[in-house]
A and B are shown apart, each in its own frame.
Chain A
Amino acid sequence: MNYLQFAYRNILRHRRRSFVTIMTVCLGFVALGVLGGFLNNIFSRLKGQAVVAERFGHLTFAKKGFYQNGKLEPEKYLWNAKELETLLAVVRQNIDVELATPRLRMFGVTSNGKASTIFVTEAIVPEDDQKLIKTNVDGRSGIEGMVTFGARNRDNSSVIVGSELASMLKIKKGQNVTLLTSTKDGVANAVDVKISGDYNTGNPATNDKFILSDFSLAQNLYDTDGAERVIVTLKNPENIEIVKAQLIEELADAGLQVEAKTWDELSPSYKKVTTLFGIIFRVLTIIISVIVLLTVLNTMQMVVSERTKEIGTMRAIGMLRGQVIKLFCVEGLIMGVLGCLLAIPILFAIAGLLQVMGISFVPPVASVAVPLVMMFKIKNLLLVFALFSVVAIVSSFLVSRKIAAQQIVDSLSRG
């Protein structure tokens, strides 16, 4: 007879009460699991939108100070052709790097001949972009409805526009629009481009002004043979911070002072959503943990007061205070662990059901619907498991500590 067996038999003794306690833990786990599963999925979809649809890749390298003063003095923060060559060579040498591609970004006004509106254009290298849109995001490669320029017979004056921009200007594939912008020196410049497609950027803040244009066209318009930024995707994005630091150092050795940003730093909507939901999730975790704590506390209180005489007997026979506390902590822990274990098949059943039902919804700060499915992270589930186990032990400890400290005669005279 060890503590586990002894505790287990005691749990079976108060079947209904133990069952309610175990179910409370179980439901708490399911609630956190479902919410966490939804959030993981939403976060992952938004990540896909940022990395692929908004073309941020994993890492962006710009000249040091670009994000501070690049708008005011664009020329000063452009990489010239030679610098760009060095930059790309150094970055592409790193074994963790999947893709490195130059970019230019320009602002201006676009017109369909009748109406005009502001635009932002991200100038991309078509061959590179075909690879970028297949970047693996949490196991999914590619985003539904994502478009880029075709490789062959390509006319560098064609553009792809955000779907909201297309509908605002009522422009369709094959039609022309004019882009009014300026060179790096601030001289006005314009070009007629042909719409070759549209897509939803996933972000309502950019979907009404985003235009993908050809890098070579943009170089002409901007009057440069260099680039403003280099976008990098990694083979294993888990290592992003390490690779980032590595590359900054390697580039410094090559004489380039760079500023590097990760995709989430560049996507303010991702930050907003994850921060907000993260807070909600944390608050809910605390509330549910408190409910679990109170339930186990209450159960243990009842158990202990019913078994006071028995505790007195065990102490009289030679059980140490610590051993009594340990016994009750094991009882609490078993109920906590059983609750969590029971929750896991329930969670997967719910996940499977949602997959089959195929519901989708548009998360806040997004413009594209995402499927309402759950994505579980083993690490997070284990954390909740550990949290509830600790909560169960703590509540058992709090209750049993008092009873163990009682005078043995007082315990014995009860009941």
Chain B
Amino acid sequence: MIQEVISATKLIDFEGVSKTYQLGNQRIPALKGIDLTIESGDFIAIAGPSGSGKSTLLNLLALIDTPTSGDIRYNNIDVSTLSDDERTRYRNKEIGIVFQNYNLIPVLDALENVAFALQVQGVPTKECLKRAEKILREVGLGTHLHHRPANLSGGQKQRVAIARALVTNPSVVIADEPTAALDSKTGMEILELMKELNYTKNTTFIFSTHDNRIIDSVHHVVYIEDGFLMNRY
């Protein structure tokens, strides 16, 4: 593992993190003693063969799953000490999540989907909508504010999802194969958008991918194989 630029601050710290799934009486080790440090402002691709543990790692990073053993620290907070509500609030404020299949709420239009992430915080509706609209314009969907997910293309849906992840101004966006459901051209556009947002907002991005073109165009790639962190460059 190589040392990062000195100026960056430590955002996430994994220490000996393991995750073992229990399937009936079968134990499936998905992650094995991961040590990982992620710095604020990073743009990191996680690569590895299918079943290597990428999604498992990202779920732990996104605080939507808990490790079997090991420590996860966010901004030096041991997240295992947080209650479910505290963890949820932390996730809402600090972590944006983008899913492979967009996971937009079908009964809400683009604007409402984005505003939702603020509304659960109790931000007044007017302000939620204002901020949601601003971010949707930034991701290039200013003309589709009132389209419901069913009336948006895959690329547009993923833009809405990215806007939803960013509207709370999180420190990090975590995306599990955000381009996998898109054609390669649209996938590259989404990648460019993420790069741009990383650059302009200094938001940390961590995402997994199978796409070699994407891996080649990203500076930091973390390889994972069979639950082990192989190397990082």
Contact = CB atoms under 8 A, between A and B. Distances in A.
Contacts of A6: 107-108
B207 to A, nearest CB: 15
B75 interface: no
A318 B65 contact: no
A318 B91 contact: yes
A47 interface: no
Contacts of A10: 107
Contact of B168 (A318, A319, A408): A318
Contact of B121 (A316, A318, A321, A409): A318
Contact of B105 (A314, A320, A321, A412): A314
A145 B64 CA distance: 78
A407 interface: yes
A310 interface: yes
B42 interface: no
B59 A409 contact: yes
Contacts of A2: 125
Given A9-B107, A10-B107, A313-B105, A319 B64 contact: no
Contacts of A220: none
Nearest to B59: A409
A323 B105 contact: no
Given A6-B107, A313-B99, A317-B164, A408 B120 contact: no
Contacts of A315: 64, 88
A1 interface: yes
Interface residues of B, number: 29
A407 B105 contact: no
B65 A409 contact: yes
B117 A409 contact: no
Given A6-B107, A409-B59, A317 B64 contact: no
A316 B85 contact: no
Contact of A310 (B59, B105, B115): B105
Contact of A412 (B64, B84, B117): B64
Contacts of A323: 120
A5 to B, nearest CB: 9
Contacts of B106: 13, 310
A309 interface: yes
B115 A1 contact: yes
B88 A1 contact: no
B103 A309 contact: yes
Interface string B168-190: 10000000000000000000000
Binding site of A, secondary structure by majority: helix, strand, loop or mixed?
Answer: helix
Interface in B50-77: 59, 62, 64-66
B137 to A, nearest CB: 19
B123 to A, nearest CB: 11
A316 B64 contact: yes
Nearest to B122: A323
B107 A321 contact: no
Contact of B120 (A9, A13, A320): A320
Contacts of B115: 1
B84 to A, nearest CB: 6
A9 B65 CA distance: 30
Interface in A288-330: 309-310, 312-323
Nearest to A322: B85
A317 B84 contact: no
B46 interface: no
Interface in B112-132: 112, 115-117, 119-121, 125
A313 B89 CA distance: 14
B97 interface: yes
A412 B102 CA distance: 12
B158 interface: no
B168 A407 contact: no
B95 to A, nearest CB: 9
A409 B93 CA distance: 19
A318 B97 CA distance: 10
B165 to A, nearest CB: 8
A9 B107 CA distance: 6
Contacts of A312: 64
Interface in A312-362: 312-323
B209 interface: no
Contacts of B103: 309-310, 313, 412
Contacts of B92: 317-318
Nearest to A12: B107
Contacts of B97: 316-317
A1 B120 contact: no
A242 B217 CA distance: 88
A279 to B, nearest CB: 45
Nearest to B112: A1
Interface string B135-162: 0000000000000000000000000000
B166 to A, nearest CB: 12
Given A1-B108, A1-B115, A318 B89 contact: yes
Interface of A: 1-2, 6, 9-10, 12-13, 309-310, 312-323, 407-409, 412
25 contacts: A1-B112, A1-B115, A1-B119, A1-B125, A9-B107, A9-B108, A10-B107, A12-B107, A310-B103, A313-B103, A316-B64, A316-B91, A316-B97, A317-B97, A317-B117, A317-B164, A318-B88, A318-B89, A318-B93, A318-B121, A318-B168, A320-B85, A322-B85, A407-B64, A408-B65
Of all A-B residue pairs in the complex, the 10 with the closest CB atoms, nearest first, are A318-B92, A9-B107, A408-B64, A313-B103, A409-B65, A318-B120, A319-B120, A1-B112, A316-B64, A317-B117
